Structure 1
Amino acid sequence: MQRATELALDEKTVAALRGALKTTADEVVQAIIDEVPSYANALSGRMGGTIRRAVRTALGHYLDLAGGKATGGDASDAAYELGRGEVRDGRSMDALLSAYRVGARVAWRGLAAGAVPAGLPAAEVAKFAELTFAYIDELSAASAAGHADELAARGLAHERHLAQLSRDLLAGAAPEVLLADAQRAGWQAPTSLTAVLLPATQARPVYRSLDPRTLVVDDLPDAMGVLLVPDADRAHLLRQLTDRAAVVGPVRPWMRAAASYARAVRARSLSPDIRDTEDHLVPLVLSADADAYADLRARALAPLRALPPSSGRRLEETLRAWLLHHGRREEVATALFVHPQTVRYRMGQLRDLYPDLTSPQRVLELTLAVGLPVADR
């Protein structure tokens, strides 16, 4: 507050102005209530009394400055904290600046009413006006800085809380942990979440077109990111991702988002061409435990592996077609581009290899064993 010290008022004038402080402070508060809607309720009751005292303190401090008895540091600090407090009370900086403008006008009117009768010369009154408004401007600037800093701090804290919630969801944390995370982040929990796995560089651009509650993690291994989309319309979501290298997991209750994420990761490991995991449930099921599937295939197809490779491959193709067409010989022959008698001959060979070929358990094992094309066929 360097400029306010440029004016040195005599003690008589300062005393006269101090006598009008209480009335002026009350008039400032009432004018703000009347003219700035955001403060209509905030300045009533006990809070109104606190604000009135704060206004009197600020005006008194200014008179100390103008009388050469104080510096501006304390007032600036108080204004800075006022700006921060406005964020906590949910008010914008526009509302506070409006209050400052109204307060400056009313405060000047009240102080001038005391300065003129006290004998302050006209030139000094003009200078007093200039410095009064400069003082209010400097308080406004300090409050604006406090408001901006509080918003930035809250934004960073909010981002940290959302990031923690996202990580705990992907890790499958306990419900009580997730509920606490959501509360700290101020995140309104949806009914469901759908995981979308995509390159990290695409995560933020896609996020901007989705529900604002969507959670983003863009620092996964292999330069991948994930979006957790709340209550998604799946068809619409897939259309939004048409031009993206994205894998969409299943819809899951929001606390089970880890399951949606895990399936998307597994689908991506199967093929880079998978987009909708719902269209690839069979390979996803059969690849869920790769070792178990390999063991099942080795056991179920052992009789075929004992044959010469070419014979084994022909019988495996015949077996697959027979299972697919439920034993209907004509349809099997059409699928294999062979004569029905060839199918009959090959099926005779298969029955020799598998005496229990038509038993439910054998049919299930063989269906699973020949259900997917794999590298060792």
Structure 2
Amino acid sequence: MNYGERFMPSQHAVLSASSSNRWIHCTPSARLEERVPEQASIYAAEGTVAHAKAEQKLTNWKEGHPRRKVKCEDGEMDEATTAYRDYVVEVFNEEKKKCEGTELYVEVQLDLTPWIPGGFGTADAIVVSDDTLHVIDLKYGKGVPVDAPHNSQLMLYGAGALNQFEMYFDFDQIKLHIFQPRLDHISTYDMYVDDLTTWLAMVVKPSADMAWKGEGKQKPGEWCRFCKVKGNCKARAEQIQQMNERYKQLDAMLLTDDEVAQILPMLPDVKAWTKDIEEFALNQALNGTHYDGYKVVEGVSRRKIVDQEMVMSMLDKEGYSKEAYMKAPELKTITALEKLVGKKHFSELTEGCIEKPQGKPVLVPVTDRRPEWQSGIDDFKDEKEED
């Protein structure tokens, strides 16, 4: 019997497991995000390739061909996916010592519709034995460590796996694993089946029902980080305004130490919000939106040496020592070299060896003296992170 038979979804999940932390806390977010088209991300593309390589390596091992070569042009990716394979194999072998009937399944699509309308997800690896269910998730990103405890995405994968395998196995416990090789980070979380089913009934299902209908109240929080509408979300703006109003009412002309201590934890949210709304406004302006008092101009760019060998050769001919123009293992900055040689003479010596790339567009007040941006906008479409 094929215990690992896959549930094949017919369309993209509105309430995805990967965004569950967001729509569980902020139920309207899923329908709000539907209005924003997906944008390609180099990080998401890199993650997709890494998962494919990891799947091939693990499948080769499972089929009895552990030495079969999986071509991987990126050396770091090759090491990371091999480390992931070895970790899954280690989990499997440890479980096999306790239960001869232990099974390993790779890239299993899971039905989450008992709790989430149209819900599904894909588990990278599942190890099942008589009493324990292991769900292992590869995270290829290296931005921030991802932890397994109370990770809603991984808990939903655990729920889907439990639903799929519980008729064949009598699980007492579920063990969730995050394997993040580029950060040397491994995180695990043990759950009892009863605790998971309670969470599904009390938290997930009510939130999913509201999110599916686009109902509920917006709630800003750390889950806003990858939200598509974070830049123009009114709830986030109101939160910042409320913080501002609160501190306008301070009686003292100067903040006390306690008041500073209260403000400090809020600063990351303020900084993140201002950055998000600046990026949103620039994107809108590049696509034709006019903001009174503002215009798009070319931003500052730095000159760069495109032929270091030629510059080094000319400096040698001019009699300068390597100690004078090098800062191991490369040339000193252009400003430092201009100071060494003289700005005009350096410009003459290095003609054709230095270029100044076009600066990226920035949104500035109309009083800025720089001319309005005229280049094509497509080169600077906003790029975002993923898995």
Question: If the TM-score is normalised by the length of the shorter chain, which range does it land in?
Answer: under 0.3
Ranked by relative contact order (alpha carbons within 8 Å, sequence separation 6 or more), the top structure is 2
User: Is the helix fraction higher in 1 or 2?
Assistant: 1
User: Is the strand fraction higher in 1 or 2?
Assistant: 2
TM-score (norm 2): 0.21
